[in-house]
């Protein structure tokens, strides 16, 4: 698995900072890189090299021959090109999301009584789905590109919701929005909920469990042929915040997502339909979340749009001292803007209008305008 830490000098013939996981003969390759004038070391099971990509591949060839160098060259070229090239649009059944030209804003629509920030705000059993649809329309008017509909809370400690209850909550909302040509993602970890929602008009499946909650979900997504958001979470919502530990949170989350992409491709889910999400707040401490945000750009090495969701999360409250989740606006906006400036293609947010304005500025200031986007536009 190849992860690019920095390839900014590669276009001018300079070195890149590259991490390679599970590389056979890693120590021997590191020595060969150093002999060729680069810098390399092995940390845990990862080779960390600062060298021209060709030097790294040549070093692998000298130690392991073509059987080692050939596959490594393919992976290095793909990762470097992805890191340098920026995101591409994401095709969905309801139209393309313009990830390649500007940041995409996903509005959060929780139709639950118990979500951490807005539980019950847009879900009233007595007149459902009126409140939810009205809020979705407000978010669209404020600039949301799509609406993420969820019927089961994934807050820390949350209890699972029966499938029939989750369907009762989400299907009327999905049907109504899809009928208005809204791009809808369904936030679920259940195969049948995903299937029924896509049949009702949802265009994306957003799964916090990466297919680990329901063994049928991934095969269902493959059959449906819609984009899939694969997210990292350690444990379950009920257990994920019980002392999460990592040696290198970015490396471990990256390797998990890379593994999942390969698994999904083997199941028949095309790579071009995948979105990756490092799972801010899902089995991570404050320090883990901050490190993931600082290093968002590394996840672009996977060659897929990166989704970041920090909106109103508890680590922002810990940092800012704001206990009430709905009042964490400033932290939510700052982290969304930083994520975009560091390579995120999609941000998942509660406060749409403010975030849309902020990420436009962040994209313009990043100094790395995307194809078709003029600096300062």
Sign of dihedral through CA atoms 73, 75, 78, 81? negative
Both structure tokens of 7: 């390839």
Q: Which residues pair with 352 in a beta bridge?
A: none
Integer Cα distance of 268 and 225 in angstroms? 9
Render pLDDT for 145-154 as a digit per residue (tens, 0 to 9). 999 999 987 7
User: Which residue has better confidence, 377 or 290?
Assistant: 290
* Residue 3 a catalytic site member: no
Which is nearest to 197 in space by CA: 164, 176, 170?
Answer: 170
Write down the catalytic residue from 46, 155, 313, 342: 313
**Mean pLDDT over residues 281-292, rounded?**
93
pTM: 0.91
What percent of the chain is modeled with pLDDT above 90?
80
Strands 184-187 and 2-6: unpaired
Burial class (CB in 10 A: 0-12, 13-18, 19+), 354: middle
Which is nearest to 161 in space by CA: 216, 241, 239, 238?
Answer: 238
Q: Is the pLDDT of residue 164 over 60?
A: yes
pLDDT at position 3: 98
Write down the catalytic residue from 46, 312, 342, 348: 348
Q: Is the pLDDT of residue 373 over 60?
A: no
Integer Cα distance of 36 and 38 in angstroms? 6
pLDDT at position 158: 66
Which is nearest to 16 in space by CA: 59, 43, 55?
Answer: 55
Tell me the residue ranges of DSSP E strands in the chain.
Answer: 2-6, 16-21, 39-43, 46-51, 104-110, 146-150, 184-187, 204-207, 228-231, 274-277, 307-308, 346-349
pLDDT at position 199: 97
* Residue 190 a catalytic site member: no
> What does residue 222 show for φ and ψ, rounded to 5 degrees?
-60, -40
Q: How confident is the model at residue 239 (pLDDT cuts 50, 70, 90)?
A: low
Render pLDDT for 74-91 as a digit per residue (tens, 0 to 9). 999 999 999 999 888 999
- For each of the domains in the chain, give its residue range(s) and CATH number, in order of start: 2-85 (no CATH), 104-365 (3.20.20.20)
Q: Is the pLDDT of residue 371 over 60?
A: no
**Mean pLDDT over residues 335-342, rounded?**
96
Which is nearest to 278 in space by CA: 303, 251, 317, 247?
Answer: 251
Q: How confident is the model at residue 113 (pLDDT cuts 50, 70, 90)?
A: confident
| Residues in Cβ contact with 78 at an 8 Å cutoff, skipping those fewer than 6 apart | 2, 303
Q: Which residues pair with 305 in a beta bridge?
A: none
Both structure tokens of 85: 């090239």
Both structure tokens of 161: 């919701």
Render pLDDT for 255-275 as a digit per residue (tens, 0 to 9). 999 999 999 999 999 999 999
């Amino acid at each position: 698995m190849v992860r690019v830490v920095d390839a900014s000098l590669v276009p001018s013939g300079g070195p890149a900072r590259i991490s390679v996981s599970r590389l056979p003969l890693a120590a021997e390759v590191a020595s060969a890189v150093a002999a060729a004038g680069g810098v390399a070391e092995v940390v845990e099971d990862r080779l960390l090299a600062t060298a021209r990509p060709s030097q790294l591949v040549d070093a692998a060839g000298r130690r392991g021959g073509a059987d080692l160098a050939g596959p490594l060259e393919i992976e290095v070229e793909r990762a470097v090109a992805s890191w340098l090239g920026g995101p591409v649009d994401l095709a969905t059944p309801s139209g393309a999301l313009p990830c390649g030209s500007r940041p995409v804003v996903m509005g959060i629509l929780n139709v639950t009584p118990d979500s951490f920030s807005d539980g019950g705000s847009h879900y009233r059993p007595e007149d459902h789905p009126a409140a939810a649809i009205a809020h979705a329309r407000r978010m669209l008017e404020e600039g949301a590109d799509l609406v993420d509909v969820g019927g089961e809370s994934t807050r820390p400690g949350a209890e699972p919701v029966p499938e029939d209850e989750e369907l009762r909550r989400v299907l009327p909302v999905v049907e109504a929005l899809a009928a208005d040509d809204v791009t809808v993602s369904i936030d679920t970890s259940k195969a049948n909920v995903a299937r029924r929602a896509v049949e009702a008009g949802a265009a994306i499946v957003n799964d916090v469990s990466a297919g680990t909650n329901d063994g049928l979900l991934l095969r269902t997504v493959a059959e449906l042929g819609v984009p899939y958001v694969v997210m990292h979470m350690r444990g379950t919502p009920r257990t994920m915040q019980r002392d999460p530990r990592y040696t290198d949170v970015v490396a471990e989350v990256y390797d998990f997502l890379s593994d999942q992409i390969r698994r999904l491709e083997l199941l028949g889910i095309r790579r071009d339909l995948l979105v990756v999400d490092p799972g801010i707040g899902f089995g991570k401490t404050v320090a883990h979340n901050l490190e993931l945000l600082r290093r968002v750009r590394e996840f672009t090495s996977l060659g897929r749009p990166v989704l970041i969701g920090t909106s109103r999360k508890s680590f922002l409250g810990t940092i800012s001292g704001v206990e009430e989740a709905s009042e964490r606006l400033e932290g939510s906006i700052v982290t969304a803007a930083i994520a975009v400036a560091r390579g995120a293609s999609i941000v998942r947010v509660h406060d749409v209008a403010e975030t849309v304005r902020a990420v436009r500025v962040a994209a313009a200031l990043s100094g790395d305008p995307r194809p078709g986007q003029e600096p300062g536009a």
